[in-house]
Every structure is written in structure tokens, then in C-alpha cells.
Amino acid sequence: MNLTGRHFLTLKDYTREEILYLLDLAETLKEKKKKHIPVDVLRGRNVALIFEKTSTRTRCSFEVAAHDLGMGTTYLDPSGSQIGKKESIRDTARVLGSMFEGIEYRGYGQEIVEELAAYAGVPVWNGLTNEYHPTQMLADMLTIREHFGTLEGRKLVYMGDARYNMGNSYMVTCAKLGLHYTACAPASYFPGKELTEECRKYAAESGGSVTLTEDADEAVRGADIICTDVWVSMGEPDEVWEERIRALSPYKVTADIMNKAGEQAIFLHCLPSFHDLGTEVGRKIHERFGIADMEVTDEVFESAQSLVFEEAENRMHTIKAVMAATLGAEL
Ligand code: CP
Ligand code: NVA
């Protein structure tokens, strides 16, 4: 398997074998990290980390992973670069591509990361756009595989806004890897028709399936993995909160939902999560709408079925695998 020079933008352009190869590599890198075996084979190289939206996990994962691989990093924060304001994406891509061996981009439209990739001349990695969050998918799949031992045939149910980056990405990844994907949401929050059709084609090849339903009780029965995400994503306007709370509250992940799924089910969330009043946003929403949690209850979040912190750790190991593979690291 040789992924040298490849971009990492949606996972749509990766085969099942390539995705599994990245998971295997992540597993190896994780083992080495635990045993303190150095993997700094990319010494002397540098990567640029562009964040037009904020981050804890993705930024730290790219930085730690790059440093473990021996690379230098330059972090460009949401206000610290000329991108899009005084310099076009195309020009930025050519400038950064001449100085760095790889570029991570987190920001808004998918077309921005695609344009960066088209002009950079070095691998570009999508660290989250409005439409996709592919590095998160590798972490989730690694966590699922570590827990159950297998991916194929597992039933994954995503509850919430299934039209956005996390919902879209779960649908793509499950369909590629032969999992049974269910988007459980009000119909107006179902993923787009075109992407759904595309994923159904992947699923027909992999033995997976794609189901869209509004019926939460029916959706979660026998599920292996229940996932959710925040109801309002970064960059969305404050005005949408009211409508989201109204529409998505029936799809909150509660103890009742987990019980209906069964005791085999695990809970995943990309984080950050609004499961208590420990955040500024959580407290503001509590004042405005009187609710103390949103997409998941604190009870489920803190339960033994919740693997959210294992999932968060796996961000680093999987991102390391993506950089190592696409930069041609010999490990
Ligand atoms: N899950 C995730 O991408 O987290 P951050 O926004 O903290 O990077
Ligand atoms: N849907 C969320 C994911 C955060 C990791 C957002 O885009 O804000």
C-alpha cells in the first residue's frame, strides 16, 4: 500500500483497503507510543496547520503527531493569517506548498480545502469543514474496532443533525467499510440526496447499508454504536438554537435510548459536547431555554458505555497515521 503524496479530504476517494491500512498503521503507531518507541523518521520536514475555526483535539493531535514523527509545525489561528481576507486560497496554497511538506486545513466550505489541495503541490489534510470531518472518522473506526474486534456488519446509529460534517462523514465511512448506517433525525435533517445515493452505492459493494429514519425507538434497536454531535456547529448563527432544540430534542441520547439499543451498545461523540452546565455556551442555553443538557445526557456521557475519551485519544494516533502514510514515512 502506498499513499505517498495523497490528499485526505473526505474519505470518498479512499478505498476500503486504504482506510483499513490507515487504521492498521494507527494501531501500530499507538503501540509504539505506549512503549515509547521513537518514530521520528520525518525529521527535517514541516507542516502548516491552518485553523479558521477553533479546536482542542484536532490541533493537539496534529501537533503531537507531527512532533512524534520528528516534524516541525506552524499553527495559523483564525485571526493570524491573510487567508481569504488579503490573499486568495490559490495563492496561499502555492506559498505554503513551497515551504511545508504538508498542510492541514480546518474551516468552512469543503471547496476551500479542495482548492488548497489543487494548488498546494503537497498533501492537504481536512481537519474539518462544514461538510466533512474525515480524520475524526478514523479515530471513531479505530475505537469501534478496538472495542468490538470488527467493523463489518456493525450497526451505527447517528442521532441529530445528519446533514452536517459528522453525519455526512459517518455515512461515507460506514458505507465504505461495510457497517450498517442509520441517520436518525427529523426528515429535514436527513443528509442530502446526492451523497446518500453515492453512499448507497458504496454500501452495495461493501455489504453495508444506509437507512434514514425519524423513528428513534426503531432506529436504535440492536445498535452497536450510538453517536451524536452538537446541535449547532461552529460558524452557525445563534438564531438557529431555538429551532434546533425544538427539532432535535426527541433525538437526544438518553439512558432510555441506550437501554433500547441494548447493553452491547457503545456511545461515541466527537466532542466537545453539551452534556452539563460546565461550559459557557451550556450555561447561556440553560438561561435562555431552561435545559441542562442537549444532544446527550450527562448520565450517558459519564456511563461505562461511553468511550468518548478513548475516541479522543485515538484522534492523535490516527492523524499520525494519515501524515506518516501520505508523507511516505518508512516505519
Ligand atoms: N472532535 C474535534 O474535532 O474536536 P476539536 O474541535 O477540539 O478539534
Ligand atoms: N459538528 C461540529 C463538530 C465539531 C468537532 C462542528 O462543526 O462544530
CATH no. for residue 91?
A: 3.40.50.1370
Q: Whose CA is nearest to atom 4 of ligand 1?
A: 57
Q: How far apart are CA 240 and CA 131, in angstroms?
A: 18
Q: Whose CA is nearest to atom 1 of ligand 1?
A: 270
User: Which residue range(s) make up the domain with 291?
Assistant: 155-223+225-263+266-304
| 60 and 41 within one domain | yes
38-60 pLDDT, tens digit per residue, is 999 999 999 999 999 999 999 99
Residue 262 has a pLDDT of: 96
- Burial pattern 287-305, b for ≥16 Cβ within 10 A else e, equals eeeeeebbbbbeebbeeeb
Ligand 1 centroid vs 55 CA: distance in angstroms?
5
Q: Is residue 59 part of a domain?
A: yes
Give the residue-averaged pLDDT of 104-133.
97
Q: Is residue 309 part of a domain?
A: no
Query: Residue holding cell 469543503?
Result: 110
Q: Is 119 exposed, middle or buried (0-12, 13-18, 19+ CB in 10 A)?
A: middle
Question: pLDDT band for position 78 (50/70/90)?
Answer: confident
- Alpha-helix residue ranges (DSSP H) falling in the chain: 16-34, 57-68, 89-99, 110-120, 134-148, 165-177, 193-206, 216-220, 241-248, 255-261, 280-289, 298-301, 308-326
> 147 an active-site residue?
no
Q: Is 240 in the pocket of ligand 2 (CB under 6 A)?
A: no
Question: pLDDT band for position 66 (50/70/90)?
Answer: very high
Q: Whose CA is nearest to atom 6 of ligand 1?
A: 55
Residue 218 has a pLDDT of: 96
Q: How far apart are CA 293 and CA 274, in angstroms?
A: 6
Using only C-alpha atoms, what is the Rg of the chain? 19
Q: Is 106 in the pocket of ligand 1 (CB under 6 A)?
A: no
Question: pLDDT band for position 330 (50/70/90)?
Answer: very high
| 294 and 322 within one domain | no
| 212 and 173 within one domain | yes
Q: Average pLDDT over the chain, rounded to whole?
A: 97
Give the residue-averaged pLDDT of 19-28.
98
Give the residue-averaged pLDDT of 186-208.
98
> 6 an active-site residue?
no
Using a pLDDT cut of 90, give the percent of the chain over it. Answer: 97
136-175 pLDDT, tens digit per residue, is 999 999 999 999 999 999 999 999 999 999 999 999 999 9
Q: How far apart are CA 216 and CA 159, in angstroms?
A: 8
| 194 and 80 within one domain | no
Residue 235 has a pLDDT of: 93
249-266 pLDDT, tens digit per residue, is 999 999 999 999 999 999
Q: What share of the chain is helix, strand, coil (3-state, %, to 5)?
A: 45, 15, 40
